[in-house]
């Protein structure tokens, strides 16, 4: 679910810890996703990770 505060039930079923499951980011690709869309997402994540983007521990 988009924006869900709950960890992924799939990750939990795979044995991933709750803490790690709550620290994941999910990207979904569809039929109309382009290479440019993927490159844009990669560059955005690079900027976020480089600058910290104000993420804090829960």
The string of pLDDT tens digits covering residues 7-44 is 899 999 999 999 999 988 889 999 999 999 999 999 99
What CA–CA distance (Å, rounded) separates 42 from 7? 23
What CA–CA distance (Å, rounded) separates 58 from 40? 28
What does the block give as tokens for 39? 């490159």
The torsion region of residue 14 among left (phi > 0), alpha (psi -120 to 50) and beta comes to alpha
* pLDDT at res. 25: 87
Closest CA to 6 of 58, 54, 52: 58
| 45 Cβ neighbours under 8 A, 6+ residues apart | 25
Residue 58 has pLDDT above 60, yes or no: no
């Amino acid at each position: 679910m988009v924006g869900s505060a709950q960890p992924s039930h799939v990750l939990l079923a795979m044995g991933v810890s709750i803490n790690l499951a709550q620290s994941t980011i999910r990207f979904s690709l569809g039929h109309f996703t382009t290479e440019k869309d993927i490159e844009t997402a990669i560059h955005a994540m690079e900027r976020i990770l480089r600058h910290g983007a104000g993420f804090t521990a829960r």
